[in-house]
Amino acid sequence: MKKLAFVATGYIKKHDGVSVYTENLLIELLAHSNTTKTDIFIGKSVLELLKNRVLSSETKELKNITFIPVNDNNFFFKTLDLTRQMYKYGKYDLIFMTNFMPILFTPGKRIKVVHDFSKKKFPELFSKFSLIYNLFLVKSAKKLDFAIGYISQTTQEDMKKYFDIDENNKKLLFVPNGIPFKVKNFSRVDDKVAFDKFKQKDLNFCVVGRINKHKGFDRLLKFCNYFENSLKMKKKFDFVTLHIVGKQTKETENIFKNLKFKNINLVFHGFLDDDELNKIYQKSHFSFFLSRNEGYGLPLIEAMWFKSIPIISNIPIFDEIMGTDFPKFDDITGYEEEIEKFIFSIFDDNKTLQSIYKQIEVVIEKEMQGYSRSANNLIDFLESA
């Protein structure tokens, strides 16, 4: 029986992208783990949370799965204790880490997963320390780790572009994202309900993610300023609401400073649990994803599951997920008039609405198998390691 260390110490209570990726991959992996001894290293403060979310009635009874708590009082102690615990529990055939960490010594072959290269693409949006630290993580992984995992073809291409890492000089493993169970557990909106929503005179938008420039909030506000003035003249909707869900950052105050809309109601929700977030998606006609870069775009998939139509930026990962034919917006098209035209075309033409929903269904079908594919790829890689 192969022995796998699954390092989940990047998992946090507020379920960021790495946390969602970690728990969903783990669910699929444990469902196929009857031939693998799996030790799961997890911060002690979230151990019970992770167990409750990933263990099924069947996997709870398996003796080959062990959860090992790691001191997570702070990042320094977590790194030290993780290394100590791995050596304590013996040698592993493979040590799989769901994100990059400064772990250089382990009792077995090591693979870390890279999610995106935003810091290389937009260094001006990050601190100098963050850039230096990220450079250290990638270069040390290239030189010292057994392999590197990547979650999308876009990430793989960026890895080659920025660090000259490819299959010619490094073992690589494709471990993609997919549709998370926290979404799959909720029934999809009925087609009739989804279509009837566009007969309403109220218009609901939502945007989900960190409130900063990297996530494209400045682009969104360009549209809002334009749309605010347009609404004064066109009177197409009785009431317009923008639901803002996500963690506020240091940039938040500057982004929304002196911002006042009379025709668009801004509602700040902060962090929401799954139930509340899903309700926002369900009521929203459109969801904005105007990011400058993404490793995958989990909220995009969530929105489409609940049939909220995405308004997306023209970046490689969204091409990979949505296909080249789905409408996208960038500095060339602008974020004002063209987005408004897209919105009005869907409200005014039922055939356009049907076409967009058909494209969404193709994407959902494709992404359904993402985490299962990741688990199978990891198991195959473990067997051959």
Spatial CA neighbour of 170 closest among 144, 140, 142, 192: 142
Residue 154: exposure state from Cβ atoms within 10 A (0-12, 13-18, ≥19): buried
Sequence-ordered list of residues with C-beta below 8 angstroms from that of 369, at least 6 positions apart, any chain? 178
Spatial CA neighbour of 358 closest among 160, 194, 214, 240: 194
Please give the pLDDT value at position 253. Answer: 67
User: In the chain, what are the domains?
Assistant: 2-178+369-384 (3.40.50.2000), 184-367 (3.40.50.2000)
pLDDT in tens, 354-373: 999 999 999 999 999 999 99
pLDDT-flagged residues of the chain (< 50): none
The amino acid present at 314, given as its one-letter code, is N
**8 Å CB contact between 183 and 161:** no
Tokens of 34: 């009857």
pLDDT in tens, 32-72: 877 789 999 999 999 999 999 998 877 877 788 999 999 99
Q: Is the dihedral of CA 37, 42, 47, 52 positive or negative?
A: negative
Report d(CA 12, CA 26) in Å as an integer: 15
Residue ranges of E strands in the chain: 2-7, 36-43, 65-70, 92-97, 108-114, 147-150, 171-174, 202-208, 239-245, 264-270, 286-289, 309-313, 328-329
Model pTM? Answer: 0.87
239-260: b or e for each residue (b if 16 or more CB lie within 10 Å)? ebbbbbbbebbebbeebbeeee
Report d(CA 6, CA 112) in Å as an integer: 10
- Give me the half-sphere count of Cα atoms (radius 13 Å) on the Cβ side of residue 163: 26
Integer CA distances (angstroms), 248 to 52, 209, 251, 257, 330, in order: 28, 9, 8, 13, 24
Report d(CA 79, CA 361) in Å as an integer: 42
Report d(CA 153, CA 229) in Å as an integer: 40
Please give the pLDDT value at position 233. Answer: 77
The C-alpha R_g of the chain, in whole angstroms, comes to 22
Helix (H) or strand (E) holding 345: helix 337-348
Angle formed at CA 172 by CA 147 and CA 170, multiple of 5 degrees:
65
Per the listing, tokens 């693979």 go with: 111
Please give the pLDDT value at position 190. Answer: 87
**8 Å CB contact between 308 and 282:** yes
Residue 79: exposure state from Cβ atoms within 10 A (0-12, 13-18, ≥19): middle
Sequence-ordered list of residues with C-beta below 8 angstroms from that of 154, at least 6 positions apart, any chain? 295, 316, 317, 320
